A and B are shown apart, each in its own frame.
Chain A
Amino acid sequence: MNFTDTKKSNALVVNVTGRMDAITAPEFDAQCQNWLDAGETKVVVDLGDLEYISSAGLRSILAAAKRLKGSQGELLFSGLSGMVEEVFNVSGFAAMFKIYKTSEEALAG
């Protein structure tokens, strides 16, 4: 799994690529800690190039969302498609989080 951060005026946009599975999901937890340490509170996670996510990935995302919320922050998502979108729908994450088509729309919303 790889992360590319882009700092915008009111948020951090993070493009996540590769596979978010039971082996790699802890990397997401570590990234979340980096965002908090850097004082980032609004984080747009773009999953447009994420190939795969399992419940281990959902677990890390929920843990990150809880921690950001605890710091008056927010986790938003964009670019969901295919199986990643299906996993978000089945788990109810699609309804629980703010989801946008693109990261630009997430920044505007």
Chain B
Amino acid sequence: MSTIRAKADLSSLPTIRDYVLSTARQAGITGEVPPKLDLVLEEVLVNVASHAYGSGRGEVEVECMVQDNPDSGSRTFCLELRDWGTYFDPLEADTPDTTANIDERPIGGLGLLLVTTLTDHCSYTRQGDMNILTLCFNV
């Protein structure tokens, strides 16, 4: 469909968010998916902003794709996130123990859990020097 490319830091979040949510709206996606998209996008962008380029600077690219499956009549809205930073598979990270109490709970680590729970499908691949994270929602 279309692609946006921006600096891989937190300041790009509002611009990329506007792009993704308006693309979803134009594709006729309503209901519970846009709020999930909103959240998942922030979580993965924050990951790229914190891990991909260390203390250096780099870019992130986000592409929105609508996939129709004529056989099943189902439709999927996917985000593909690309960066050219160090190898980083966020899906490999450990998810925290969500039953621990306030004292035992480490701070952080919940972003990935939200991503894997709220998406219908997600995958990571490293292609050459590029990290590609694909996040799909049934719509």
Among A63, A66, A96, A97, the one with the most B-chain Cβ atoms within 10 Å of its Cβ is: A96
Chain A residue numbers with a CB within 8 Å of B10 are 22-23
User: Could you say which residues of chain B place their CB within 8 Å of the CB of A62?
Assistant: 102, 105, 107
* B138 close to A (CB within 8 Å): no
Tell me the smallest distance from the CB of B38 to a CB of chain A, in Å.
7
Beta-carbon nearest neighbor of A68 in chain B: B102
B111 and A55: CB pair below 8 A? Answer: yes
Size of chain B's interface in residues, with CB distance under 8 A?
25
B36 lies within 8 A of A22 (CB): no
Which A residues lie within 8 Å of B91 (CB)?
none
Contact B99 A54 (CB under 8 A): no
Is B105 touching A96 in the complex (CB atoms < 8 A)?
A: yes
Whether the pair B108, A96 counts as a contact (CB closer than 8 A) is no
Q: State A62–B101 Cα separation when bound (angstroms).
A: 10
Beta-carbon contact of B38 and A66 below 8 Å: no
- Quick one: which of A56-99 are within 8 Å of B by CB? 56, 58-59, 62-63, 65-66, 69, 82-83, 86-87, 90-92, 95-97
Q: Mark A13-49, 1 if CB is under 8 A from B, else 0.
A: 0000000011100000000000000000000000000
The residue on B at minimum CB distance from A60 is B107
Size of the chain A interface, CB-CB below 8 angstroms: 24
Q: Closest CB-CB distance, B40 to chain A, in whole Å?
A: 9
Q: How far is the CA of A23 from the CA of B101 in the complex (A)?
A: 26
A55 to B14, CA, bound (A): 17
Docked CA distance A22–B98 (Å): 21
Q: Which of B89-125 contact A (CB under 8 A)?
A: 98-103, 105, 107-108, 110-111, 113-114, 117-118
> Judging by beta carbons under 8 Å apart, are A54 and B111 in contact?
yes
Q: Is A3 an interface residue (CB 8 A)?
A: no
Determine if A63 and B107 form an interchain contact, defined as CB atoms under 8 angstroms apart. Answer: yes
* Across-interface contacts of A65 in B (CB, < 8 A): 102
Is A69 a contact of B114 with CB atoms below 8 Å? no
Whether the pair A55, B35 counts as a contact (CB closer than 8 A) is no
Interface residues in chain A, defined as those with a beta carbon under 8 Å from any beta carbon in chain B: 21-23, 52, 54-56, 58-59, 62-63, 65-66, 69, 82-83, 86-87, 90-92, 95-97
A-B contacts, 5 listed (Cβ < 8 Å): A23-B13, A66-B102, A69-B102, A90-B114, A91-B110
Minimum-distance CB pairs A-B, first 6:
A92-B98, A55-B111, A55-B110, A83-B35, A54-B42, A90-B117
